[in-house]
Structure 1
Amino acid sequence: MNEVLWISFAITDLCIALMLYRFFGRIGLFAVIVFNLLLCNLQVLKTVELFGLTTTLGNILYAGVFLATDMLSEFYGKREAQKGVLLGFITLVLMTVYMQVALHFSPAADDFAQPHLEAIFGFLPRVAVASMLAYLASQTHDVWAFHFWKAKTNGKMLWLRNNASTLASHVIDSGIFCLIAFYGVFPTAVLVEIMITTVLFKAFVSVLDTPFIYLAKRVHSMLPEHAH
């Protein structure tokens, strides 16, 4: 059932991004970036089997970050998209620092959470560093490439700039993240498989989000500041 659950989860997450945009405008997109980025850095610690391949679970939520960034780029311009990227980066740094501080508190005698928190957040700094470097590199490229293709096509072919910018950015992101986060953790063969499948599954969600960015254009016209 992993495959059915994964596809359903992807569609649900993309729908939620549209809903948050409909009710909260650009603030909703900032929320999507922060929420998805924080959770995907926890979910990425879990590996699953999908279609006979080993991959990390955080692919769906991270792909949702790119959808929100592209929506900010399309509707509000490069400056707002860069704000979203920076906001996501800052919140990831703060979560990492705050949870490391939390782990240094001595637990009470009847505490049961410390070992579980250590298992998750003790590994988090390495994952967070990998994620931050990969996130900054890939998202910076994504914003640049989105506007590059928008200029090249005179604002037409939204599907092209949405996919061309995101797919290339996923290759950058997955290469940087997997090498830093998982080198030495998994055997080389498994690491390479995770790297390849991460790109493939993120690419699948990116293609899946194409109709959603067109739906977002309709949602955009319905917002109070744009409705006629």
Structure 2
Amino acid sequence: MNELLFFVTLAINFIGILTFYKLFGKTGLFAWIAFATIVANIEVVKSVNIFGLEATLGNVVYATIFLATDLINEKYGKEEARKSVFVGLASMAFFVIMIQIDLHYVPNSQDFAQEPMETLFSITPRVMIGSFVAYFVSQLIDVYVFDAIRQKTEGKFLFIRNNISTATSQLIDSFIFTFIAFLGVFEFSTVVMIGITTYLLKLLVSILDTPIIYLARKMNGPVKE
């Protein structure tokens, strides 16, 4: 069941990012990045078993952030891609700040949401720091690697720069987050396994999104050299 839902989720996310881009152009990709960072931070609190691996939700939508960043890099250049990284970072920061303030409001006698919200959004400082550092570092690396390969290949072989930049940056992302958030909380071998399973799911999404970035590149005019 979970495996089927994984591919349904994948299809919805790919349709979503293409729709955002087709309707709103570059602005739509920036909006998708903001949306995806928030959704991924909500989904990550749920643990599941999928393809025989223990994992958290949020890996699919989080991986599409790298797809959106690569598409911005491809169509509009490195500086716009770097800007999109800060859009995602700001979205994540203000979402966390606002939710933490909301949790400190005193609920009235009719409220039923306080306890579920505390379960979902009461995050430890280590998890918060891990999320911010992993996102920021990995996204900037993704932008740099993608642009470096693009220059060396003279704009050819999109599938190579898309997959290499994402595979590299998501490896870094997965292990920065798991080591900051969980080292000392779980045994070292468990932390490594969490990092590996998280990375493998993100890598699978990266491979499967290759046709999507080719399709999206044809939308909304030519590549801006």
Distance (Å, rounded) in 1 between the aligned partners of 2:209 and 2:174: 19
Correspondence 1:89-108 to 2 at 5 A = 89-108=89-108
Distance (Å, rounded) in 2 between the aligned partners of 1:48 and 1:5: 11
Q: What amino acid is the match of 2:155?
A: G
State the SS of the aligned residue for 1:163.
helix
Distance (Å, rounded) in 1 between the aligned partners of 2:79 and 2:192: 35
Distance (Å, rounded) in 2 between the aligned partners of 1:136 and 1:26: 20
What's the counterpart of residue 51 of structure 2? 51
Distance (Å, rounded) in 2 between the aligned partners of 1:195 and 1:92: 21
Distance (Å, rounded) in 1 between the aligned partners of 2:45 and 2:102: 19
Contact 1:41–1:128 (CA under 8 A) maintained in structure 2: no
Q: What amino acid is the match of 1:100?
A: Q
Q: What amino acid is the match of 2:210?
A: T
Distance (Å, rounded) in 2 between the aligned partners of 1:22 and 1:61: 18
Q: Which runs of 5+ in 1 are unaligned?
A: none
Contact 1:85–1:139 (CA under 8 A) maintained in structure 2: yes
Q: Which runs of 5+ in 2 are unaligned?
A: none
Deviation at 1:220, TM superposition (A): 3.0
Correspondence 1:144-155 to 2 at 5 A = 144-155=144-155
Render the CA deviation track for 1:133-187: whole Å, top value 9, x for unaligned: 0000000000000000001111110000000100000110000111222334545
Is 1:139 aligned to 2:139, yes or no? yes
Normalising by structure 1, report the TM-score: 0.93
* Percent identity over paired residues: 45
Normalising by structure 2, report the TM-score: 0.94
Deviation at 1:99, TM superposition (A): 1.1
Size of the aligned set, in residue pairs, is: 223
Q: What amino acid is the match of 1:10?
A: L
What's the counterpart of residue 208 of structure 1? 208
What's the counterpart of residue 74 of structure 1? 74
Q: What amino acid is the match of 2:168?
A: A
Distance (Å, rounded) in 1 between the aligned partners of 2:17 and 2:106: 39
Render the CA deviation track for 1:10-64: whole Å, top value 9, x for unaligned: 1220121011100000010001101111110111111110111101111101110
What's the counterpart of residue 36 of structure 2? 36
Deviation at 1:8, TM superposition (A): 1.7
Correspondence 1:1-228 to 2 at 5 A = 1-123=1-123, 125-221=125-221
Deviation at 1:130, TM superposition (A): 1.3
Q: What amino acid is the match of 1:34?
A: A
Q: Structure 1 residues 188-197 or 64-73, which shifts more? A: 188-197
Distance (Å, rounded) in 2 between the aligned partners of 1:18 and 1:124: 35
Q: What amino acid is the match of 2:64?
A: G
Q: Structure 1 residues 44-53 or 119-128, which shifts more? A: 119-128
Distance (Å, rounded) in 1 between the aligned partners of 2:195 and 2:189: 10
State the SS of the aligned residue for 2:218.
helix
Q: Structure 1 residues 44-53 or 164-173, which shifts more? A: 44-53
Distance (Å, rounded) in 2 between the aligned partners of 1:44 and 1:185: 17
Q: What amino acid is the match of 2:123?
A: F
Contact 1:96–1:125 (CA under 8 A) maintained in structure 2: no
Distance (Å, rounded) in 1 between the aligned partners of 2:220 and 2:67: 14
